[in-house]
Structure 1
Amino acid sequence: MSDSEWQERSHRLCQHLLAQPQFQAATTILTYVPHRREPDVRSLWSIPKRWGLPRVVGNTLVWHELTSPDAALQVGRYGILEPAATWPPIDPSTVELCLVPAIACDRRGYRLGYGAGFFDRLFVDPLWQAIPRWGIVFAATDQVSFPVEAWDHPLTAVCSEEGLRLTNL
């Protein structure tokens, strides 16, 4: 995918997010920094909400508040940009929506990531289970079905440049 197509599809995806009442109502949203051509949602960071970004600590994700849309990020363990440990932490009880990057999603709401299991471990924690989690993926990788493992946790919805759909659970 060319740079211009990646940005255009990402822009369309962000427009679908912006149109969702649940997204509009949320004040604290967890998001991500795109890696390896994942959909780019960074344009949303300028919207007045409390945005959280993940930082890898051991085998878990620790969430920090994005202090400014253009705040300097640092390269993390996997080469993914992440917040500094000094950024304010995000309490799970304040989170109303989690945007989860995906390589692919299936109709049941299961996702493929890069295989380290960070989001699956996050969603098994009782503090995080009730938070709506939307997979963010390009439509070309929105699959009918693929095998899942016992530790996989489904998403509540999937959003692509073609729109948002609830999962079939």
Structure 2
Amino acid sequence: MQIKNKEEIRRYMLNKRDKLSRTEKANLDNFIFENITQNPYFLSAKVIFSYVSFQNEVDTHRIIRHAFDLGKKVCVPKVINREKGMKVLYIESIEELIPSKMGILEPDINKEATSINDIDMAIVPGLAFDNFGGRLGYGGGFYDRFFEGSNIKKIAIGYEFQILKNVPKEEHDILIDGIITEKNFINFKKRF
């Protein structure tokens, strides 16, 4: 794919992800589930922060349920607005989440907020990634602002086709520590 700009990449990746059949998506998600739940970062984490998957994103509902089964604490994002960003709140189950205006499942605002320093591992979404820790999200900057100045292990999950040679990056973009796909785990911190 010829990289032009962030918006073109976003459109291209959304379209490519939307073209996955249910069966293809389920198979890829199963491989990603196996890869992440066997990952040392996941296994050793006591507190996991995860996005809650929406539409054709890699399924995190199963990953979150598995984290609970292992006795881990789980926190998920609650978007306040563009100006205030997002809060990260503890949950006890996926079933307690309620749809936002956009239809994304979120926790009740009155749930206990987590301190960024309590999180051991973050599972982050994205539309495109590169082999240097670059991540192209949806354009809101919520994750970049939340992670700024922290050293949480930020692991993206995505499909192999979402990895490009290079994604456009700006000064404020936070690099991820690794990506887990249906094929493998790329640990950027060990490569440099």
- Settle same-fold status: TM greater than 0.5: yes
CA distance in 1, matches of 2:115, 2:101: 23
Counterpart of 2:99 in structure 1 is 75
Counterpart for residue 115 of structure 1: 139
**Structure 2: which 5+ residue stretches go unaligned?**
1-19
2:88 to 63, 76, 84: 63
Cα deviations across residues 49-88 of structure 1 (Å, max 9, x unaligned)?
Answer: 11111001133110111212422x2222443221111222
Structure 1 stretches lacking a partner, 5+ long: none
Identity %: 25
Q: In terms of Rg, which structure is larger?
A: 2
Partner of 1:150: 171
Q: SS of the counterpart of 1:114?
A: coil
> Quick one: which of 41, 53, 71 aligns to 2:60?
41
Residue pair 2:50, 2:64 contacting (<8 A) in 1 also: no
Per-residue CA distance 1:24-68 (angstroms, 9 max, x = gap):
010100001112311002112223211111001133110111212
Task: Report which of the two has the higher share of helix.
Answer: 2
1:67/1:87 contact within 8 Å kept: no
Q: Is the 8 A contact 2:128 2:167 kept in 1?
A: no
How far apart are 1:6 and its partner, in Å? 1.2
TM-score normalised per structure 1: 0.90
- What is the TM-score when the length of structure 2 is the normalising length? 0.80
What is the correspondence of 1:154-169 to structure 2 with a 5 Å cutoff?
154-167=175-188
Deviations 1:107-155 (A, max 9, x none): 111111111111111122x3xx111101111111111112211111110
Matches within 5 A, 1:118-133: 118-124=142-148, 126=149, 129-133=150-154
Give the number of equivalent residue pairs: 165
Q: Residue 130 of structure 1: SS of its match in structure 2?
A: coil
Provide the C-alpha distance between the structure 2 equivalents of 1:30 and 1:85, rounded to a whole number of angstroms. 16
Residue 19 (structure 1) shift: 1.3
Alignment partner of 1:91 out of 109, 112, 115: 115
Distance 2:124 2:167 in 1: 18
Q: Is the 8 A contact 2:126 2:158 kept in 1?
A: yes
Where do residues 5-16 of structure 1 align in structure 2 (5 Å cutoff)? 5-16=24-35
